[in-house]
Structure 1
Amino acid sequence: MLNPFATESVTFETPVAMLIACHDRVRQYASLTESLAVHLQQNGADAAAVAGAQSILRYFDIAAPLHHQDEDDDLFPALLRKATPQLASVIADITAEHDELGALWQQVRAALLAVIAGDAKALDAQLAQQFAMRYPAHAAREENEIYPFAAQLLDDACLAQLGKTMSARRQAA
């Protein structure tokens, strides 16, 4: 089972690298959701399906909200203080996507809870596929359209403070 807080060699001293490492786990768990839908069709809500559903729930209920807070409460406001109108527009779009993804997650979450309760038909393949595609696409947008500006616009002291805040947020969780 994946550890939602495992970071290999990435530390909070490099907050943008930490956010990208979180995206790697988002991709893994989003992909697992689609794999789980296939597994359920073939094997029903067996022990492996329940364990998979539980691990996805753990990640997206605990780690993913912390990641969104890192961006919405810390990184994005820091960037917006120095952003061009174009970057500010991209950040607004991405922030809106967080709300859309949160609503999508609630649908997937309800299905996963039903799987854990034994309902092998609860996780619709189309919903799982949509989830498995939208979250990684969102992460890629952030990595390509926002994160590069952190190195350009934020000084070392600001980045260090972001890392400290991210770390403290997880210790509190």
Structure 2
Amino acid sequence: MSWDDTAPPPFVLLDDPLAYILAAHLRQRAVCTVLRRFATDRVASRAEADRVTAYLTGDLRLHHEDEDLDLYPALRRRALPEDGLGITLARLGEEHRQCAAMADIIGEALSARPADDTVHIYTAAGEAMQAYAASEMRHLALENGVVLALARIRLTRPDLKAISRGMKLRRGVDGA
């Protein structure tokens, strides 16, 4: 994955919220790849560090709200008992909270010494980046393989429109 893969999905995808969420997941994977590189190289350019920090403190939080406030509740309403989604969605919501805490630690490490052109990644920060990336990759596999697959089957057109509207409102996009 390249650095270009960390760009936000186009807002036009908000009309198809499951496609937008999938694109956001691809972006998360790209950010994880960048974090692994930071941890391995033990350095990052200030521009890269700032870009990742902005993602972790901004867009990632919006993405989690998209899922926690819109997607997961809609799925809970539509899922059948045999889907067994209750425990899975509760676990994913808890992982979002854990992810936010890890993202704060990583953001602090990447924001240290803002006047420096190069950010030095110390052992503890590198370990946090590796742990975060590994956790996120498992999380994304579950969301893509189970949650989004069931969402495509269970959610109705009105459900998808409501999810789209919530996502647009969070981003201040017209047409919400």
**What corresponds to 2:34 in structure 1?**
32
Q: How many residues align?
A: 165
Higher mean C-alpha displacement, 67-76 vs 103-112: 103-112
Q: Distance in 2 between matches of 1:64 and 1:93?
A: 18
Q: Is the 8 A contact 1:4 1:59 kept in 2?
A: no
Q: Is the 8 A contact 1:30 1:132 kept in 2?
A: yes
Q: Is the 8 A contact 1:50 1:115 kept in 2?
A: no
CA gap of 1:121–1:144, structure 2 versus 1, over 3 A, is: closer
Q: CA deviation at 1:5?
A: 2.5
2:8 to 5, 10, 16: 5
The TM-score normalised by the length of structure 2 is 0.83
CA gap of 1:149–1:71, structure 2 versus 1, over 3 A, is: same
Letter in 1 for 2:19: A
What is the 5 A alignment of 1:21-100?
A: 21-40=23-42, 44=43, 49-85=45-81, 86-100=84-98
Letter in 2 for 1:34: R
Q: Distance in 1 between matches of 2:121 and 2:59?
A: 27
**What corresponds to 1:120 in structure 2?**
120
Q: Is the 8 A contact 2:14 2:167 kept in 1?
A: yes
The TM-score normalised by the length of structure 1 is 0.84
Q: Distance in 2 between matches of 1:87 and 1:101?
A: 20
Q: CA deviation at 1:4?
A: 3.9
User: Cα RMSD over matched residues?
Assistant: 2.2
**What corresponds to 2:143 in structure 1?**
142
Q: Distance in 1 between matches of 2:80 and 2:158?
A: 21
Q: Is the 8 A contact 1:53 1:115 kept in 2?
A: no
Q: Distance in 2 between matches of 1:83 and 1:161?
A: 17
Q: Distance in 2 between matches of 1:62 and 1:4?
A: 13
Q: Distance in 1 between matches of 2:162 and 2:88?
A: 23
Structure 2 unmatched ranges of 5 or more:
none
Q: CA deviation at 1:69?
A: 0.5
